[in-house]
Chain A
Amino acid sequence: MDALKKLFGGNTRQFGMIFALVALIVLFQILTGGLTLTPDNVINLFNGNSYILILAIGMVLVIIAGHIDLSVGSVAASVGIIVAITMRDWHLPSGVGILLGLIIGAVIGVWQGFWVAYVGIPAFIVTLAGMLLFRGLNQFIGQSNTVPVPKDFTYIGAGYLPEIGPDTGYNNLTLLLGLIGAAAVVYFQLRARREAKALGAEVPDQWVTVTRLVLIVAAILYATYLFATGRPGTSFPIPGIILGVLVLIYGFVSSKTIIGRHIYAVGGNRHAAELSGVQSKKVNFLVMMNMAVLAALAGMVFVGRSTASGPFDGTGWELDAIAAVFIGGAAVTGGVGTVIGSIVGGLVMAVLNNGLQLLGVGADLTQMIKGIVLLLAVAFDVYSKIQGRPSIVGLLMRGIGGNGGNGNRGVPAQPDETTKTTEVLARES
């Protein structure tokens, strides 16, 4: 028991989201009689949720900066239809279509960012307006029709790594990717540990690091195995690659670059940030704009997967993305959250969805269960923070992929001398 505590960050109640994710997968694996962890299902699960996970990456930054974006589904749909129609009517190649989509996303982002950052309208309002505006735009441009996209465009939503090299019975590129991934994790984790030790910082016991590494590597290799042994023609999906690249980039940007620090600073205390020389308007603008670009990308991935753009694409996506972010440990008040946490949060929702579907549970019940899970997950997080311990997601994220640092942002419920509001509230109730 003691060992478990150490391994998972100091407390058995702290298994948190990662543990929940693993437990959920195991649970459904048992309940479905082994249907969950089959190559086909895992690939399917990834493909069917990649666009939400892409949104979650942008959304967590928006939420860390203290805003929210309700328009992502509508923006995705608008971009989808414009790209689909221009490609059809002007016979654009897919690459140009994708580029065009990203540019439109950026333009929409400039529009929303302008209102939020420079006019000072709350993002909730700006993006609520955007939600209506861009949904309408989608239906206006597409005249509420469904517009198909060319075959090669579907690659970004439904493509797989090609088969190359000798016939090993596995998909070679997937294997390669998995091995590189595992090696990179080991390398970065060990390097981070070495550096921390050299600085005299506290490092976890050797066996903790090793056990963690073994677990992570085992998980990666098992996933690799699943992806590499799917139906002929399938392998690691392209949306998965896009997502992986985005996670690396944004995980890095958010934790290790100046702009990343500034996003946390603005969300944590805008005044203090400004007096430290942070240009909060610029930060807000960039964060909103970035979200719209990622929404455009998510929209196109979805269109690629469903081979057409329709008038109701993207409805409700904003809620899924926001739920993922909060399950992943972000705070409603801003300043707290991680990219990887949000991905884990999104995966929890995805696995839940998928497992219930496999079990034949109806959409009505599924929604109810998802609602409860969101509530419980955040309640759990709040509870752990009252206990004064950083959230498990944060703790575990510190080492993974060398992407350390910003995880440990748990808000203590009784910060010294800052409890004034809570205390006033406590007296009131």
Chain B
Amino acid sequence: MADQPVILQMQSITKEFPGVKALSNVSLSVKAGEIHAICGENGAGKSTLMKVLSGVYPHGSYSGDIVYQGEIQEFKDIRASEHAGIVIIHQELALIPELSIMENIFLGNEPAKRGVIDWKEARRRSIDLMARVGLSEDPDTPVKDIGVGKQQLVEIAKALNKSVRLLILDEPTAALNESDSQHLLDLIRGLKGRGITSIIISHKLNEIEQIADSITIIRDGKSIETLDVKADGVDEDRIIKGMVGRALESRFPDHTPKIGEVLFEARNWTVQHPTVPDRLVCKHSDFFVRKGEIVGFAGLMGAGRTELARSIFGHSYGKFLEGQTFMHGREVKMHTVPQAIDAGLGYVTEDRKTLGLNLLDDIKSTTVAAALKKITKGLVVDMNREYQVAEEYRRSLRTKAPNVDEGVSKLSGGNQQKVVLAKWMFTDPELLILDEPTRGIDVGAKYEIYGIIQRLASQGKGVIVISSELPELLGLSDRIYTIFEGAITGVLDKDEATQENLMKLMTQARKNAAA
């Protein structure tokens, strides 16, 4: 590796937003043909750096030089960087759900003769591209009908179509389960074999350790160090030390559960798919949560965990068929979200961009948005209380933002998640359902969020955690339910659960598991 030529050098890049210096004097040097990881806490400036590189922030809006293939580049837009062979796949997917795989792959790059699209050629090329990334779907399948894992592959096919030389992936596996992630990582390794250089950003440090050749660490908008994974014998702990500036003793805070009586119970919960009449997304599910208990929901992508949570939360998903819910042993009906909130439930969605946040809002109004009544006197929203409350949560969650007047759209992904969490914590629910609460969140912040979850439990609240990261569930939960195709297939106590037996229950129906 060491003697490979350098393909990219970003030299003392400084980028300021009004009031925030997102990058100051950051340097990055990437060798041709390597997989280069960028690590750093939420808001460290990773995405910003990649946006500078790919022309999202055009030349002139930052200072410093980008030297790519030996020449200083002055990209004025994304198109210009793509022309040079740099393609970025953003933290959140940029596919059009209604369009087919093929149309998405060629969006903006349609093979055309005099403006008329040559669909035959497009089909031929898309089948070829799809084969290269390991997709065997019909190219006419709408993108919304394939899972997130495959959507990620479509993004890569799209990049390959642009004859990419330097591929930038901003948290590509954040929304993927382990096997999809593995497939994607293998693919990136395969691309490396074909001479494509990759820059990858991820908070999943085990993946970084596994795939990266070198790692550049960014902290608070400054480049701290660049590590050579093999030569320096880098492991996760070493990366964390660079990211947070000190060693992190353990991944989970100490917590002694104080579990009380049953707080919430669902019986025979059955829900039908919103549009497909005879498909059940929740099949006669029974489960309960006790006071002070953290209950994990494990399952593969699409197993129906989110659907279950959202249908419980005020029937906000699917068509309710039958089932009962109980709080403190008394039956409660929650047909609408306000009813569910009144009954003491809170639900933090996995999809913060489309379901969790109003991106036009600022931090303070987001924080109080689900519990406006708590800060209202008569008819009037008490703006001073609002400010205080938001400020309290900003401090206790350590949200990185200049102040609570900042628009949430300007926060980094992880910090947005903290604001959503604050919003639900402020409703002070008795049962808080957290759907992928640490997606896209850095190790340090994860530790903090685990601490928050445990604190809530210690206060006697019930917490349900849905997560695709098994280590997280194992470390955090007192009890874990497994779900497969809409049905609960088992429940394991903390001390009997392991990755293996969970995985087994997550991948087969109950009767097979029992056999």
B354-367 interface mask toward A, CB cutoff 8 Å, 1 = contact, 0 = none?
A: 11111111100100
The one of A256, A271, A335, A408 that contacts B355, using a Cβ cutoff of 8 Å: A271
Contact A416 B360 (CB under 8 A): no
Q: Are B96 and A424 touching (Cβ within 8 A)?
A: yes
**A371 contacts chain B at the CB level, 8 A cutoff:** no
**B424 — nearest CB in chain A belongs to which residue?**
A276
> For chain B residues 368-411, which have a beta carbon within 8 Å of chain A?
369-370, 372-373, 376, 379-381, 383-384, 387-388, 391, 403, 405, 407, 409-411
Q: Which of chain A's residues have a CB closer than 8 A to the CB of B108?
A: 424, 427-428
Is B92 in the interface zone, CB < 8 Å from A? yes
Convert B320-340 into 0s and 1s, putting 1 for each residue whose CB lies closer than 8 angstroms to a CB of A.
000000000000000011101
Question: Does A336 sit within 8 A of B, measured CB to CB?
Answer: yes
Q: Is the CB of B17 within 8 A of A269?
A: no
Would you give the 0/1 interface string for A332-366, flagging 1 where the beta carbon is closer than 8 Å to chain B?
A: 00011000000000000000000000000000000
- Judge if A261 is at the interface, Cβ distance under 8 Å: yes
Interface size counted on chain B using CB atoms at 8 A: 63
Given A202-B403, A256-B383, A276-B18 contact (CB < 8 Å): no
Q: Are A417 and B405 in contact (CB under 8 A)?
A: no
Residue of chain A at shortest CB distance from B93:
A420
Given A202-B403, A276-B423, A423-B78, verify A336-B370 contact (CB < 8 Å). Answer: no
Contact code string B74-116 (vs A, CB < 8 Å = 1, else 0): 0001110010000000111110100000000001110000000
A275 with B387: CB separation less than 8 A: no
Chain B's nearest CB lies how many Å from the CB of A345? 19
A211 at the interface (CB under 8 A from B): no
**B360 to A335, Cβ gap below 8 A?**
yes
Of all chain B residues, which has the CB nearest A259? B379
Asked if A264 contacts B92 (CB within 8 A), the reply is no
Inter-chain CA distance A201–B47, complex, in Å, is 29
| Contact status A411-B337, CB under 8 Å | no
Let me know if A427 and B107 touch, CB within 8 A: yes
Could you say which residues of chain B place their CB within 8 Å of the CB of A252?
Answer: 380
- In chain A, positions 198-213 with a C-beta closer than 8 Å to chain B are 198-202
Minimum Cβ distance to chain A for residue B275 (Å): 16
Q: A257-B379, A271-B355, A427-B82 are in contact. Are A417 and B92 (CB under 8 A)?
A: yes
B443 lies within 8 A of chain A by Cβ:
no
B358 and A274 form a contact (CB under 8 A): no
Highest count of chain B CB atoms <10 Å: which of A414, A417, A419:
A417
Instruction: Give the contacting residue for A264; candidates B77, B357, B361, B407; CB below 8 A.
Output: B361
Known contacts A261-B365, A275-B349; A269 and B354 CB within 8 A of each other = yes
Q: Are A269 and B357 in contact (CB under 8 A)?
A: yes
Q: Which partner residue on chain B sits nearest A425 by CB separation?
A: B108
Q: Nearest Cβ distance between residue B472 and chain A, in whole angstroms?
A: 22
Nearest residue, chain A, Cβ from B77:
A426
Q: How far is the CB of A221 from chain B (nearest CB, A)?
A: 29
Number of interface residues of A (CB under 8 A): 52
Contact A420 B94 (CB under 8 A): yes
Assembled-state Cα–Cα distance A258/B383 (Å): 11
| Contacts known (A261-B381, A276-B370); A199 close to B360, Cβ less than 8 A | no
Let me know if A414 and B384 touch, CB within 8 A. no
- Distance of A187 Cα from B240 Cα, bound (Å): 53
CB < 8 Å neighbour of A276 from B56, B337, B381, B383:
B337
How far apart sit A328 and B311, CA to CA, in the bound complex (Å)?
A: 41
Please report the C-alpha to C-alpha distance between residue A279 and residue B372 in the assembled complex, in whole angstroms. 13
Distance of A113 Cα from B2 Cα, bound (Å): 68
- Please determine whether A416 and B82 come into contact, CB atoms closer than 8 angstroms: no
Q: Point out the residues of chain A lying under 8 angstroms from B358, CB to CB.
A: 264-265, 268-269, 272-273, 335
User: Residue of A at shortest CB range from B361?
Assistant: A268
Compute how far the CA of A410 lies from the CA of B79 in the bound complex, rounded to whole angstroms. 27
B24 on interface, CB distance cutoff 8 Å: no
11 A-B pairs with CB atoms under 8 Å apart are A252-B380, A256-B380, A257-B376, A257-B379, A258-B379, A276-B370, A388-B17, A416-B409, A417-B47, A418-B92, A421-B94
**Which B positions have Cβ atoms within 8 angstroms of A?**
17-18, 47-48, 51, 56-57, 77-79, 82, 90-94, 96, 107-109, 170, 313, 316, 336-338, 340-341, 347, 349, 353-362, 365, 369-370, 372-373, 376, 379-381, 383-384, 387-388, 391, 403, 405, 407, 409-413, 423
Known: A261-B365, A269-B359, A271-B354. 19 other contacts (CB 8 A): A257-B379, A257-B381, A258-B372, A264-B360, A264-B365, A269-B358, A272-B354, A272-B356, A274-B337, A275-B355, A276-B423, A331-B360, A335-B358, A389-B18, A409-B361, A411-B409, A415-B409, A417-B91, A428-B107
Q: Hey, which bits of chain A sit against chain B, CB under 8 A?
A: 10, 195-196, 198-202, 252, 256-258, 260-261, 264-265, 267-269, 271-277, 279, 331, 335-336, 388-389, 404-405, 408-412, 414-421, 423-424, 426-428
What 10 pairs between A and B have smallest CB-CB spacing?
Answer: A427-B108, A415-B409, A268-B358, A276-B370, A420-B94, A268-B360, A335-B360, A269-B358, A428-B108, A417-B91
